[in-house]
Structure 1
């Protein structure tokens, strides 16, 4: 599954150099992840469970700048699942040129609030993720 979320660059996204500040890209990819989860999970039932999904690593590469008025598309998909961790690939492109602005890999863990520890993914979740990953291979 690939989720595509569009964001229009506003004045408050800009820094002194009049391009999108690097910290804003983290917010953009987070918005992309939330949109992905809205589509991937049924009725946010995952938020009702004992589980939370803390981010433990982000690797981000800045490829080109974005400016006021640009329409950006955040593309989000799962790429790898381990026993307790999962990685998403997120790419931000400019619409309509498809110029890559940012590429990021985001890793998070399946964390039990009750156990206060990372735990193995539930089988039903693992199967859905594996199917999602296989769709791109």
Structure 2
């Protein structure tokens, strides 16, 4: 399952050059992750699990500007023993041209704050979001 989030570019997202500031793209992909976890994985929090980003590799491909609606698609591309990688691709709505591509490595931690193995019910909850 691929999770899809849309965000409209507003004036406060822009830098002096009239396009979205690089730091805002990190906020946009974070918003898409929150949407994914709130909408589909809310039971993680109810079981005392936490989601922690441990690494982000991001490539800026083309600018987004005022009034653009950007679409962010998110899917898991790698399951490790204690971490997973979420691929997040941002495009302008109606276009196949990438704006941003990011690989976000995350862990699921238990109440004590340590990364848990990606197995059992954790793996079962994440599996539908695999590419």
Scaled by the length of structure 1, what TM-score is found?
Answer: 0.88
1:32 corresponds to 2:19:
no
Aligned 8 A contact 1:50 1:112 in 2? yes
Question: 1 CA distance for matches of 2:126 and 2:43?
Answer: 16
| Per-residue deviation, residues 57-80 of structure 1 (Å, max 9, x unmatched) | 000000000000011001111111
Question: 2 CA distance for matches of 1:127 and 1:70?
Answer: 36
State the superposition RMSD in angstroms: 1.4
Question: 1 CA distance for matches of 2:95 and 2:107?
Answer: 34
Pick from 75, 86, 90 the counterpart of residue 88 of structure 1.
86
Deviation at 1:122, TM superposition (A): 4.5
- Listed as ranges, the gaps of 5+ residues in structure 2 are none
Deviation at 1:40, TM superposition (A): 2.5
- Listed as ranges, the gaps of 5+ residues in structure 1 are none
Question: 2 CA distance for matches of 1:13 and 1:24?
Answer: 6
Deviation at 1:131, TM superposition (A): 4.5
Deviation at 1:38, TM superposition (A): 2.8
